[in-house]
Structure 1
């Protein structure tokens, strides 16, 4: 993805500031949406996975699981402060607005706290932002007060201008977060896509958060995303209410850097 020169320079400068340290690992851990979206998941495996969300180094922000497994995660995490997220219109983004709304309401009824919704990807790639707005407006209404994280599937976009337009459209439709990827396509998160999405937030959508998901698996990578956010939005901006990492493998790496061994590993689903 070719960035405009000014944004490319910001990305270059932020990369020079990234420092993977114990402090950055601690910071990233509390921003994680610990994610298991595997075809092989069961209620038992999700319950076991959810126990990894509370660690000796602190708790992650949320777990993200398929909606049918929300009760299993809830049974483990009630009272911990760890939120439960789930996905709708996932992974391809092919559902109608009415179906997305119904799926969202069912997920919230099952006990989900947050909704991660995939945009209609095919329409977005074709520049049909009206179709994107229709899906997101329906989902937002169904969400009520629950945060709506909008998955843009940024790895499929080679045109930064189109990704910027999609990000702006999602913000206008009520996104609470812009999220990079489902983790189900070959290209997940990238710093270039993150720069585009964060720049849209910095340009007047400061109530919108950002979630890097799909391939963030090390303290070094996490530190690069946080340095970019710090550069574009200020060092006080990124917190659990505004910044997340959607990941499974990342937790293990962070715990190792914090001297807690590797006990936080989980199944890989592209995250």
Structure 2
């Protein structure tokens, strides 16, 4: 990819990035640094995704910037404690979260079917209402089976998810083109107004370009926008900024979510 092509792709990718800090040892100082990083000389990222305990801090730091505050519930294991999930969601929204990333109870889904997953997604969506977007993390690397990924995508979309997301970034297999294609095809069939978020292991502009090409192929050019497509890929910003600053590639050998 030549310099001009990399720059054009970087400009497309930048506003689709959700910068993420879900490290167990995260701190208010780390969230402040992440918030500052989200405002680049070339424009802001779509959102930052942080632990619920830091939502109020980030909201104050990012007020008026256009950067959304996303947080996680039921994370990362996707348990079935409905009361705990609803309490987490309610508190996060009260603290100012713009987006809620809910982990599908994927183990229960694979073993027992969709009953609990449907109830959880529907209930969290009701709490979100018009106040927050709901992203449902399918943990596709753990579901593994194509039919299960397709079924989970359909369930999430039917129960009101605004986005379906591949992964928590906390398992061995995260975003893959195969899973993203299945998810995009479900969106095309059931809910063209819903979005997708490939997460985990996307580190270079070339990686990002493959997923955008896939979205263009399945959904048509012009579909991708911050309301329909996100990357959960903090390391990706390094390569985006390198391209925009004319410094070549910065992320080819980086690791991280």
Please report the TM-score for the alignment, with normalisation by the length of structure 1.
0.88
Q: Does 1:149 align with 2:132?
A: no
What is the alpha-carbon distance in structure 1 between the residues aligned to residue 217 and residue 255 of structure 2? Answer: 30
The one of 71, 84, 95 equivalent to 1:86 is 71
What is the alpha-carbon distance in structure 2 between the residues aligned to residue 270 and residue 205 of structure 1? Answer: 31
User: C-alpha displacement at 1:135, in angstroms?
Assistant: 1.1
**Distance of aligned partners of 1:20 and 1:34 in 2 relative to their CA distance in 1, 3 Å threshold:** farther
What is the alpha-carbon distance in structure 1 between the residues aligned to residue 90 and residue 29 of structure 2? Answer: 24
What is the alpha-carbon distance in structure 2 between the residues aligned to residue 162 and residue 156 of structure 1? Answer: 10
What is the alpha-carbon distance in structure 2 between the residues aligned to residue 179 and residue 212 of structure 1? Answer: 6
User: C-alpha displacement at 1:157, in angstroms?
Assistant: 2.5
The one of 105, 110, 126 equivalent to 2:90 is 105
Give yes or no for contact 2:201–2:255 (8 Å, CA) kept in 1. Answer: no
What is the alpha-carbon distance in structure 1 between the residues aligned to residue 17 and residue 55 of structure 2? Answer: 17
**Distance of aligned partners of 1:44 and 1:243 in 2 relative to their CA distance in 1, 3 Å threshold:** same
Corresponding pairs, count: 250
User: C-alpha displacement at 1:226, in angstroms?
Assistant: 0.4
Residue-by-residue CA offset, 1:67-91 (whole Å, 9 max, x unaligned) = 1011221222111111100000000
User: C-alpha displacement at 1:25, in angstroms?
Assistant: 1.1
Q: Which residue of 1 aligns with 2:171?
A: 185
User: C-alpha displacement at 1:57, in angstroms?
Assistant: 1.2
The one of 201, 205, 218 equivalent to 1:215 is 201
Give yes or no for contact 2:154–2:190 (8 Å, CA) kept in 1. Answer: no
Give yes or no for contact 1:147–1:176 (8 Å, CA) kept in 2. Answer: yes
**Distance of aligned partners of 1:64 and 1:237 in 2 relative to their CA distance in 1, 3 Å threshold:** same
- Structure 1, unpaired ranges of 5+: 1-18
**Distance of aligned partners of 1:20 and 1:150 in 2 relative to their CA distance in 1, 3 Å threshold:** farther
Please report the TM-score for the alignment, with normalisation by the length of structure 2.
0.93
Worse overlay, 121-130 or 21-30: 121-130
User: C-alpha displacement at 1:95, in angstroms?
Assistant: 3.9
The one of 54, 69, 72 equivalent to 2:39 is 54
Worse overlay, 216-225 or 127-136: 127-136
Q: Which residue of 1 aligns with 2:119?
A: 134
Q: Which residue of 2 aligns with 1:23?
A: 8
User: C-alpha displacement at 1:270, in angstroms?
Assistant: 4.3
Worse overlay, 224-233 or 130-139: 130-139
Pairs within 5 Å for 1:113-128: 113-126=98-111, 128=113
Give yes or no for contact 1:100–1:138 (8 Å, CA) kept in 2. Answer: no
**Distance of aligned partners of 1:95 and 1:47 in 2 relative to their CA distance in 1, 3 Å threshold:** farther
User: C-alpha displacement at 1:183, in angstroms?
Assistant: 0.4
RMSD: 1.9
SS in 1 for 2:183: helix
Q: Does 1:167 align with 2:153?
A: yes
Q: Does 1:242 align with 2:233?
A: no
Give the 4+ runs in structure 1 shifted more than 3 A: none
Q: Which structure exhibits the higher relative contact order, with contacts defined as CA atoms closer than 8 Å and separated by 6 or more residues?
A: 1
Give yes or no for contact 2:109–2:117 (8 Å, CA) kept in 1. Answer: yes
What is the alpha-carbon distance in structure 2 between the residues aligned to residue 153 and residue 249 of structure 1? Answer: 20
